[in-house]
Structure 1
């Protein structure tokens, strides 16, 4: 795994070009942000490999009790199109470090970097058959993987609707355990005592979004239209960018009400909805619980909100902070289990 990370660094420009060509994201983002994180992730997971130990547990009576940490076996993994390399790392790194074999299905829109990095893994000395990449569509290749009787564990990142199908297929086959990282409607809560300039800077970053596919493009435009039809105030954007590709302007709505679709549904596009709240006990009708951000100068407010929000990750005075050691996953309709670790997290940035 360490040799693989070194090979990624050696081929980092080619991988960044391939990720941009495959996915449509800016080259600078792939080269200076995502690939360095990718390398860091595999350095981190490689450090797990010789540190996975069993336990000796005291028990009543003349018994010697050992708790063993064992590989689960064949890990089936299904990753999305929006972060192909990072989702590859989140899935493959911990599974390999813990001694499992892997069958990974890449998104049909973005298969190239998974195939390239698998080739680098073999150059690094990974035995044949340990890491297997399947390129295909969800209803065929993905469904076959979820239903396979010889797959011992399944990890899926994608939409809530597809996650339900994956969970059902896993249950109908061999009842394999499933980790699901699904949709989100992550609030960005700005309290009255917040550093407004910093909050606006982070909100601007949160609006950044890569190219999307044609189906998602039409879906986002429908949500924008529903916001206009619901009498929310369109403050900025709302149109496509250019005539090629599937880019949409950063879009901001104000005067949004709790029952509007743009307030309740995951849009998965560059659409920001602005709502007001009166106090910390205000409740929002969301069925998701993936992440949240809280901006405040008051430590009591930060503690109260971060513990009161049903979200897997709560960022305090920051947003979209990730690290190899920080778990990620959601509550409610945002999924089951955690990527990389086993507990929820609160991140405080200063």
Structure 2
């Protein structure tokens, strides 16, 4: 099976309901990381294009059919979008694989599941409500309502481009906002294909706009004075910059940022299940996931046994064409990330970590054109090493031994991040203790890397602000307004109390 495509495909941006090129005509390529083929090109949006998209979103928010749409009308459009995603899931999945090299066996299921986000938030659109408040002021009826923020900038990463977009798009639209999407320059095409489905679903012009480009395009969008909220998934460094930019005009932000998540294996764990969980937590996505369980904390009594089992499995992972359903690990998404991952392997060696397996490119000449990195396992790692503290975003696992529960918690929490954690034990009481003690936004017990639209997701500390998914997500896309209705009070003259 080949991922190549002899014909280069040309795409346009969606601005105000019109598919268009960049104002200055610039374009850039989408490159298949498996074979290096420049298979598509898209517009490189400049400030003028960003301004046009934001103005289109503002106009759609303040006037026209979207401004007057009822919650049930917004819900109907979201349901229609969900139906279209289901119908076109195979095409959407294939394009994501061409863009970032993730496995078709993973992306296909992930893409089909996206419709559930649309249906869930369609229900939320119809059930979002405020509260009637029991005021201590006599004869006053006090209540709250939730209203949309306005124009939302959704800036998405390359590792799961459509899933992480839907995490933002669905609650934003359910609440009645309009959106300008800026996908990663590595994975723009899948978002543009989704834009066609949004248009087909019947969303009015300007409600959803898509601008494609590099970092400068995203920067122009985040600093635009007419953007009311920025929803970003990506690195902590970029997230800090976005937060600082938004603070200048007090724009809202939600930030889902990096992680260096601990996966903690206790002596009573089901060892084969824990090995499977570690493999799924990193290697199934080539380590390119913010929640990757890349720090594996193993009790010292089972450390060597676990390491042997993990290395044996890692050595047998089938690397190859991401579009082949038999492939078990694909490529890194882009050349710069490939270099970064290989650099971190050398850093770990220099720090004194012991390489147990992997550590380079696969020897198979059939894979020489692809951005592959072998599944890599290090032992002899301490928590102060860079390989244990910095997010690599690649197929690298480090093993760190611990003595007891307190020691495991200390190591696990000794990180600037706090996105996720895993705990492997059959002791229910210990599982509950660990859930409470770990400083992470999500804790899995005897499983790893599971998400769903019903469950809030986000991080502590440097892993971000706000939550995506679940009922909590709608709060990040609405304003709360309080209303006071006088039920019969007579207002006295404030300057003549005897009147």
Task: Provide the TM-score with structure 1 as the length reference.
Answer: 0.95
- 1:199 corresponds to 2:277: no
User: Could you list the runs of 5+ residues in structure 2 that have no partner in the other structure?
Assistant: 1-77, 287-330, 474-499
Number of paired residues?
341
Residues 212 and 247 of structure 1 are in contact (CA less than 8 Å); yes or no, is this contact kept in structure 2?
Answer: no
Deviation at 1:39, TM superposition (A): 1.4
Residues 188 and 292 of structure 1 are in contact (CA less than 8 Å); yes or no, is this contact kept in structure 2?
Answer: yes
Which shows bigger deviation, 218-227 or 237-246?
237-246
Q: Which has the larger radius of gyration?
A: 2
Instruction: Provide the residue aligned with 1:287 in structure 2.
Output: 416
Mapped partners of 1:303, 1:34: distance in 2? 29
> What is the correspondence of 1:225-244 to structure 2 with a 5 Å cutoff?
225-241=346-362, 242-244=367-369
Mapped partners of 1:212, 1:11: distance in 2? 23
Q: Secondary structure at the match of 1:281?
A: helix
- 1:179 corresponds to 2:254: yes
Mapped partners of 1:10, 1:304: distance in 2? 44
- 1:270 corresponds to 2:395: yes
Match of residue 459, structure 2, among 330, 336, 347: 330
Deviation at 1:207, TM superposition (A): 2.4
> What is the correspondence of 1:116-195 to structure 2 with a 5 Å cutoff?
116-138=193-215, 140-172=216-248, 174-195=249-270
Mapped partners of 1:333, 1:342: distance in 2? 23
Instruction: Provide the residue aligned with 1:256 in structure 2.
Output: 381
- 1:213 corresponds to 2:334: yes
Cα RMSD of the aligned pairs, angstroms, is 1.4
Mapped partners of 1:12, 1:266: distance in 2? 31
Residues 161 and 191 of structure 2 are in contact (CA less than 8 Å); yes or no, is this contact kept in structure 1?
Answer: yes
Deviation at 1:28, TM superposition (A): 2.3
Residues 207 and 250 of structure 1 are in contact (CA less than 8 Å); yes or no, is this contact kept in structure 2?
Answer: no
Deviation at 1:29, TM superposition (A): 1.8
Instruction: With a CA cutoff of 8 Å and minimum separation of 6, indicate the structure with the bigger relative contact order.
Output: 2
Deviation at 1:341, TM superposition (A): 4.0
Q: Secondary structure at the match of 1:188?
A: strand
Task: Provide the TM-score with structure 2 as the length reference.
Answer: 0.67
Deviation at 1:342, TM superposition (A): 7.1
Instruction: Provide the residue aligned with 1:348 in structure 2.
Output: none
Mapped partners of 1:192, 1:17: distance in 2? 41
Mapped partners of 1:46, 1:256: distance in 2? 47
1:44-81 CA-to-partner distances (Å, cap 9, x unmatched) read: 11111111112111101221111111111111110000
Instruction: Provide the residue aligned with 1:101 in structure 2.
Output: 178
Deviation at 1:192, TM superposition (A): 1.1
> What is the correspondence of 1:297-336 to structure 2 with a 5 Å cutoff?
297-336=426-465
Instruction: Provide the residue aligned with 1:37 in structure 2.
Output: 113
Moved over 2 A (4+): 341-344
Q: Secondary structure at the match of 2:173?
A: helix
User: Could you list the runs of 5+ residues in structure 1 that have no partner in the other structure?
Assistant: 345-350
Instruction: Provide the residue aligned with 2:493 in structure 1.
Output: none
Match of residue 191, structure 2, among 97, 101, 114: 114
